[in-house]
Amino acid sequence: MHEPGGRARAAGIAAGVLADAVFGDPRQGHPVALFGGGAAALERYTYRDDRFTGALHAGVLLAAVTATGVLVERAGGRSALREAGAVAAATFVAAGGTSLCRTGDQMAALLSSGDVVGARQLLPSLCGRDPSVLDAAGLTRAALESIAENTSDAQVGPLLWAAVGGTPAVLAYRAANTLDAMIGHRSPRYARFGWAAAKIDDLANLAAARLTGLCVAVCAPLVGGSPAAAVRAWRRDASKHPSPNAGVAEASFAGALGVRLGGPTQYAHELEIRPTLGDGRVPQVADLTRAVRLSRAVQLLAAALLVGVSAACRSGRRASPRC
């Protein structure tokens, strides 16, 4: 059986990143949205208020996506060009860093002009919080925290899984992340049914979040920040966050930007009192703009690292080194 070559995979990741940078997320017919629609349709038949059924629901969907990725990869045969094309397409589908930063810039522009109503309307494009209860300061913090978390979830995670497992892995990762966003929260309906989806997403993002934290520390000087402050906030505060991964991204961003994140966080289903991350000032709109710049830098650094690692690692019995 043919195994993916490192150079083809690296070329595919690079092409997928470039496509995302140029085009961003498609406005209509996005495969992730189509998957979400299919998952919601299946849920109408599978839903039960228990963990086992939720795990079965998630397992069936993830197995179907992974199998699709395997079939796509095998369809390329031994052609390095087709293999690279499959990885590029999957990476483009899964990556969302460009749209994330564009939305962050739009949010900063609205807040800078005092358009709180417009910012409230845009916030659901970034996160699932209830915008109706947020003033300008709350919208700024919500957007900044979402930029930090989704730098890992929407860009570093897909690139990492593309480097590790090619087309099947990156598609499965994006499916897991989408399921978590749909059913992985603690609402009365999904506290049990979505438990497995949330845990799978936590496991899938463990390495990506920590790679994000390292990249944030390296890139901190580009936005006038301190690598030491990013690492210090990560080590001191990340474990306080209810998410083992979002805490890493948000704390490292807070330290790098010299701001303080966390506090009361209102979702549609509940109010969470989040711990304080970082020990700086309350974030201003200018800090949101810096966060977007930092996210872009982190995405670029992570892409360069993972493309380089993929190119250096080759599969096959006679290949050396093996990764």
* pLDDT(311) > 60: yes
Q: State yes or no: cis peptide before 31, omega within 30 of 0.
A: no
Q: What percentage of the chain reaches a pLDDT higher than 70? A: 93
Whether 161 shows a pLDDT value over 80: the answer reads yes
Q: Would the pLDDT of 207 be above 80?
A: yes
Each residue of 225-269: pLDDT tens digit? Answer: 999 999 999 999 999 998 999 999 999 999 999 999 988 776 666
Give the pLDDT confidence score for residue 158 in this predicted structure: 97
Q: What is the mean pLDDT of residues 116-125?
A: 94
Question: Per residue, what are the HEC states of 19-34?
Answer: HHHHHCCCCCCCHHHH
pLDDT, mean of residues 183-210: 95
Residue 75 clears pLDDT 90, i.e. is over it: no
Spell out where 137-282 has E strands.
Answer: 261-266, 271-277
Tens-digit pLDDT profile for residues 5-21: 688 999 999 999 999 99
- Averaged pLDDT, 169-196: 94
pLDDT value at residue 119: 95
Encode 277-290: b = buried (16+ Cβ within 10 Å), e = exposed: bbebeebbbebbbb
Q: Give residue limits of the domains in the chain.
A: 6-312
In this structure, are residues 156 and 212 in contact, taking their beta carbons and an 8 Å threshold?
yes
Q: Is the pLDDT of residue 321 over 50?
A: no
- The C-alpha atoms of residue 315 and residue 252 are separated, in whole angstroms, by 34
pLDDT, position 319: 42
pLDDT score for 192: 96
The pLDDT value given to residue 320: 43
**Pair of tokens at residue 189:** 């309906």
pTM score of the predicted model: 0.91
User: Which pLDDT value is given to residue 30?
Assistant: 84
Q: How many helices (H) and strands (E) does the chain have?
A: 12, 2
Supply the pLDDT for residue 130: 83
Residue 155 is given by DSSP the state: I
For residue 2, what pLDDT is reported? Answer: 44
Q: What is the pLDDT of residues 21-70, one digit of tens each?
A: 999 887 777 889 899 999 999 999 999 999 999 999 999 999 999 999 99
Cα–Cα distance for residue pair 145/143, rounded to 1 Å: 6
